[in-house]
Amino acid sequence: MGIELAPVDVSTVQERVYQSLRLALLKGQFLPGEPVSIRRLAEAFGTSPMPVREATKRLVAEKALEQSSDRLLRVASYVDSVHEEYIRIRIEVEGFATEKACSSKDPRLIDRLKVHNDAMRAALRSADLEGALSGNQSFHFEIYKAAAYPQLLDIISSLWLRTGPILAMLRSDTDRFFKIFDIGYKVHNDAIDAIARRDRASARRAIALDIRSAHLWIHRYYKSEYEAAAAAGLSKLP
């Protein structure tokens, strides 16, 4: 044919699909227990099923997705005791990252944090729940990136993969959702103020409060949902 074609880098496609799915989980675009269809994801990405299949294998290994014995894929389900364990770990590692962020010499850090937090509040005011989730994720990871500990950022990302969808579940209870994020906006402001003052203890305390208060609301939500399911004669929630 006389035409020289460069080989297609399949690994690049796989990585893009993986990073896109990862970000969607971090931002709460999937719900706990939600079925995941490789075919539908491939159609959405405009790829063959292969890169999607490889990406989901990685996410199963990271415990963000679960694969049943009949090879069905789902987003990891909510288990109260497991989520409590994740929350305790998150408070420690994200608190440590926040302390390190207080030493950042980035002159634009505080401005970016305010932008993310204000974007979260603006999304709430316009009832854009997806936007609020995205703003919350952007705010937190702006802090954790400022810690300048790449391995720590990887650990935090892995934990958020497992808890992001759980927070997103609250979209079905808008009153509870708005209360959580309204409290979160105020606590975020406390964290911003502490980081600006390089007050490591106060910054860590604010982030810990943000994580713990959201967890308490989530726990109450799932408790009420399970009680409602039991009253209706259902064995369990999806």
Query: pLDDT for 155-213, tens place per residue?
Result: 999 999 888 888 888 888 888 889 999 999 999 999 999 999 999 999 999 999 999 99
Residue with tokens 């204000």: 118
Residue 2 lies in a domain: no
Helix then strand count (H, E) for the chain reads 9, 3
Within this chain, do residues 146 and 217 fall inside the same structural domain, yes or no? Answer: yes
Contact 188, 143 (CB under 8 A): no
- Asked if residue 92 has pLDDT above 90, the reply is yes
**What pLDDT was estimated at residue 200?**
98
The last residue of a domain, from among 46, 75, 104: 75
Contact 153, 144 (CB under 8 A): yes
Which CATH number covers residue 34?
A: 1.10.10.10
**What pLDDT was estimated at residue 158?**
92
- Asked if residue 227 has pLDDT above 80, the reply is no
Within this chain, do residues 129 and 196 fall inside the same structural domain, yes or no? Answer: yes
Cβ-Cβ contacts under 8 Å for 10 (sequence gap 6 or more)? 50, 51
Within this chain, do residues 100 and 204 fall inside the same structural domain, yes or no? Answer: yes
Within this chain, do residues 87 and 179 fall inside the same structural domain, yes or no? Answer: yes
Please work out, in degrees rounded to the nearest 5, the angle formed at the alpha carbon of residue 213 by the alpha carbons of 109 and 118.
35
Closest CA to 160 of 26, 19, 34: 26
> Rounded mean pLDDT of the chain?
88
Query: pLDDT for 17-31, tens place per residue?
Result: 999 999 888 888 888
Count of positions (residues) in the chain: 238
Q: How confident is the model at residue 6 (pLDDT cuts 50, 70, 90)?
A: very low
Residue 236 lies in a domain: no
**What pLDDT was estimated at residue 13?**
86
- Asked if residue 109 has pLDDT above 70, the reply is yes
Number of domains in the chain: 2
| Rounded Cα–Cα distance for residues 60 and 97 (Å) | 26
Boundaries of domain holding 142:
80-231
Residue 178 lies in a domain: yes
| Rounded Cα–Cα distance for residues 37 and 49 (Å) | 10
Give me 107's structure tokens: 């002159």
Within this chain, do residues 168 and 217 fall inside the same structural domain, yes or no? Answer: yes
Within this chain, do residues 145 and 160 fall inside the same structural domain, yes or no? Answer: yes
Within this chain, do residues 41 and 143 fall inside the same structural domain, yes or no? Answer: no
**What pLDDT was estimated at residue 209?**
97
| Rounded Cα–Cα distance for residues 180 and 125 (Å) | 13
Contact 237, 33 (CB under 8 A): yes
Within this chain, do residues 167 and 145 fall inside the same structural domain, yes or no? Answer: yes
Contact 114, 135 (CB under 8 A): no
* Mean predicted confidence (pLDDT) in 57-77: 88
Within this chain, do residues 63 and 101 fall inside the same structural domain, yes or no? Answer: no
Closest CA to 73 of 28, 34, 31, 46: 34
**What pLDDT was estimated at residue 72?**
85
* Share of residues in the chain with pLDDT > 70 (%): 89
